[in-house]
């Protein structure tokens, strides 16, 4: 099979070598440079990547990705779209070929969007940017998705792993206007309406976030409970920042009712009570979160729902309500998951109190 990787790039010089080393199992690699002012273009060319420059005006991610896809040889069997801050674990090419059974047009894999300092996934979900050469185009100005002009046949191999190592200093300033444009172009699109509400929340535009997220919940296509739950949590978070705790609690409880199979709604309401100093109310919610084993993969995973964080918070809650035995039990459970200097100091304080 002929396997080709394609990507877009702008000022990614520091990632080029690492990315290329990860992608070189492909037969060919194509990159569209959309206006780098560093040495990205020359570095890519030096490594043998087929690269060309093109300025996309006005900027849209879907248009840029479609232009980079157009660079790929038409006789390619499999196209693999990645970004330069991503790395495949070695051996991915053979796994892709084995999973590309008769009739498959698109392949899913494990995407570790966020990892801790020890390389353990914090946010992990299935992505699916491996696809057939013919029939696919990218749509939406941002948070772009692949659209197919026929009937898709999908397969999944979670042993294919793509890790994300983002540049935290890179601006995401273009996202908000592009999300507003995306929703304007397709006001019934539930996915990007949710993302727009979330983006308003990130910008602390609390009331616009609430209105947009409530609109998301009203959409006919907004049926995925995990994402609906996230919208409800975000509405609660906005009301919390507006100092309207009753509305915040109401939406957090709605989120639990919407998706009781997720750790996140229990953890977020528990965290709300924790921040209010209502430790006795937080404890049963954190315990409920801890009962849910993380068997699901979703982009809406939150750091405060990891077992380490839940055990850490539980230990502090028990300490503050005077149950030092339980505080010690959960501080030890947190330390079993991750050895953390602050948590070690907490354990010392608990032992001294006992």
Domain ranges, ordered by start, for the chain: 3-164, 175-353
Pick the CATH number of 3-164 from 3.30.465.10, 3.90.550.10, 3.40.630.20, 1.10.760.10: 3.90.550.10
Distance CA 209, CA 215 (A): 10
Tokens standing for 301? Answer: 């995973």
Segment 178-224, tens digit of pLDDT: 999 999 999 999 999 999 999 999 999 999 999 999 999 999 999 99
Distance CA 238, CA 231 (A): 10
* Host H or E run for residue 319: helix 307-320
Tokens standing for 72? Answer: 């790929």
Segment 306-310 shows an average pLDDT of 93
Upstream peptide bond of 277 is cis (omega within 30 degrees of 0):
no
Q: Look up the CATH architecture of domain 175-353.
A: Alpha Horseshoe (1.25)
The maximal CA–CA distance of the chain, rounded, in angstroms, is 71
| Nearest residue to 223 (alpha-carbon basis) of 267, 259, 269 | 259
Segment 50-92, tens digit of pLDDT: 999 999 999 999 999 999 999 999 999 999 999 999 999 999 9
DSSP reduced 3-state for 125 = strand
DSSP reduced 3-state for 165 = coil
Tokens standing for 21? Answer: 């080393």
| Beta bridge mates, 106 | 131, 154
pTM over 0.85: yes
């Amino acid at each position: 099979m002929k396997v080709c990787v394609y990507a877009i790039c702008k000022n990614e010089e520091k990632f080029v070598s690492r990315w290329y080393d990860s992608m070189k199992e492909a037969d060919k690699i194509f990159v569209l440079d959309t206006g780098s002012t560093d040495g990205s273009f020359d570095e890519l060319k030096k490594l043998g990547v087929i690269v060309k420059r093109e300025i996309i005006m006005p900027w849209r991610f879907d248009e840029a990705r479609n232009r980079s896809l157009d660079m790929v040889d038409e006789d390619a069997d499999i196209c693999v779209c990645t970004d330069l801050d991503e790395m495949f674990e070695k051996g991915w090419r053979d796994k892709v070929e084995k999973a590309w059974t008769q009739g498959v047009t698109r392949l899913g894999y494990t995407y570790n969007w966020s990892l801790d300092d020890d390389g353990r996934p914090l946010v992990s979900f299935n992505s699916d940017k491996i696809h057939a050469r013919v029939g696919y185009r990218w749509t939406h100005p941002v948070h772009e998705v692949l659209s197919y002009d026929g009937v898709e046949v999908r397969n999944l191999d979670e042993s294919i792993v793509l890790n994300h190592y983002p540049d935290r200093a890179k601006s995401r300033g273009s996202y908000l206007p592009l999300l507003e444009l995306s929703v304007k172009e397709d006001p019934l699109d539930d996915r990007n309406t949710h993302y727009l509400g979330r983006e308003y929340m990130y910008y602390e535009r609390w009331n616009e976030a609430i209105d947009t997220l409530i609109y998301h919940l009203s959409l006919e296509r907004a049926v995925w409970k995990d994402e609906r739950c996230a919208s409800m949590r975000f509405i609660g978070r906005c009301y919390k920042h507006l100092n309207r705790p009753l509305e915040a609690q109401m939406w957090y409880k709605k989120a639990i009712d919407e998706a009781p199979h997720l750790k996140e709604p229990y953890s977020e309401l528990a965290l709300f009570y924790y921040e209010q100093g209502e430790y006795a109310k937080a404890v049963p919610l954190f315990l409920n979160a801890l009962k849910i084993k993380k068997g699901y993969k979703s982009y809406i995973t939150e750091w405060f729902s990891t077992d380490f964080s839940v055990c850490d918070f539980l230990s502090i809650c028990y300490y503050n309500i005077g149950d030092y035995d339980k505080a010690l039990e959960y501080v030890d459970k947190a330390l079993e998951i991750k050895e953390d200097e602050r948590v070690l100091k907490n354990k010392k304080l608990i032992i001294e109190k006992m």
